[in-house]
Amino acid sequence: MLDGCERSVVVAPMAGGVSTIALVRAAAAAGTAGFLPAGYLTPEVVEAQLRELGEDGHPYGLNIFVPSRTAPDSAAVAAYRARLAPEADRYGVELPPLRLHDDDHFAAKVELAVAAAPAWVSFTFGIPDAAVVEALRRAGSTVLITVTDADEARAAVAAGADAVVAQGGNAGGHSATTRPASYLGDRGTGDLVREVRAAVSVPVVAAGGVGSAADVAGLLAAGATAVQVGTMFLLAAEAGTREAHRAALGGDGASTVVTRAFTGQPARGLRNRFTDTYSADAPIGYPAVHHLTAPIRAAAARAGDGGALHLWAGTAFGQARPGTCREILDRLS
């Protein structure tokens, strides 16, 4: 388990409103780590939430998106924008102009993390510079970097990571891969944990495909120090999961697919009309594609239409059951 945690299961950061302050608090109250996702939020909102959590006096984590080091193909993103025109018409929204460069206020969020010094700070979508990791470690935070293969794990350790999160292809939501063009999401988490354990000497947190206590035990047996779980908490009472998303998790015949259609970064979610229509020609380009589809997704959410929502979920989604954070943790123990 992670230092400071009483449990081997930690609650994953789920951006976009799912991981609420209430969920992070509930995880802490139940004896484990819950991560506040900084992704998509302004620095002002992150600062306020860090202050609020800090007043509780309980340990918590913060997750930060690492900005891409390569610019997206503007022509490919522009072509995809044109392809999305029927969706804009369907929902009565306007597609925004291309927004090719956006670092999600990375430097400001790192500064806030250094000042707040949460117990754990995790990164995804890439490897932060060593100076960033060192500043956080000096502040007193344990730094975790999410990886999807042994090469990324070695790079994370070279940057100073205290631990790595080995994210299998069966995990829900965005993949942390730094190679989106070749990513298929076909690596099981157990195999990945063993590969990463052989490559680096720091603790490895497993993530992906967990739906039961047996899954947790299997990943610990594979060499994981702890297991990070997200999908099982989509139905938590404290989570901010949209009702359309909650309903879709229990849909008959539902299945998951890895797609770039919503954001330009490979992500696993429930298959729906949007993934069927746009996955084949969605370009690589996070967050440019994310910004393009944002008004469509927002309109679909307002309408309760799961057909154009990013219904992130891992392959074990069928085992998700409603309950409090503590009850779900108990089921996974």
Q: What is the pLDDT of residue 205?
A: 98
Q: Is 174 helix (H, G, I), strand (E, B) or coil?
A: strand
Per-residue pLDDT in tens (0 to 9) along the chain, 333 residues: 788 899 999 999 999 999 999 999 999 999 999 999 999 999 999 999 999 999 999 999 999 999 998 889 999 999 999 999 999 999 999 999 999 999 999 999 999 999 999 999 999 999 999 999 999 999 999 999 999 999 999 999 999 999 999 999 999 999 999 999 999 999 999 999 999 999 999 999 999 999 999 999 999 999 999 999 999 999 999 999 999 999 999 887 899 999 999 999 999 999 999 999 999 999 999 999 999 999 999 999 999 999 999 999 999 999 999 999 999 999 998
2 in a structural domain: no
HSE-up of 105 (CA within 13 Å, CB side)?
Answer: 15
Q: What is the pLDDT of residue 252?
A: 79
66 in a structural domain: yes
Is 0.85 topped by the overall pTM? Answer: yes
Q: Which of 148, 96, 102, 152 is nearest to 128 (CA)?
A: 152
1 in a structural domain: no
Tokens at 83, concatenated:
């392809």
Q: What is the pLDDT of residue 251?
A: 80
Q: Following CA atoms 129, 27, 51, 37 in sequence, which dihedral angle do they give, to the nearest 10 degrees?
A: 40
CA–CA distance, 200 with 116 (Å, rounded to integer): 29
65 near 89, Cβ under 8 Å?
no
Those residues with Cβ within 8 angstroms of residue 196's Cβ, 6 or more apart along the chain or in another chain: 147, 149, 150, 153, 164, 166, 204
Radius of gyration in angstroms for the set of CA atoms belonging to the chain, rounded to a whole number: 19
137 in a structural domain: yes
Q: Which domain holds residue 217?
A: 9-332
At residue 124, φ and ψ (nearest 5 deg) are: -140, 165
3 in a structural domain: no
HSE-up of 228 (CA within 13 Å, CB side)?
Answer: 31
Number of structural domains (the chain) is 1
Q: Which amino acid is located at 183 in the chain? A: Y
236 in a structural domain: yes
CA–CA distance, 93 with 294 (Å, rounded to integer): 10
CA–CA distance, 94 with 17 (Å, rounded to integer): 23
178 in a structural domain: yes
CATH at 225: 3.20.20.70
278 in a structural domain: yes
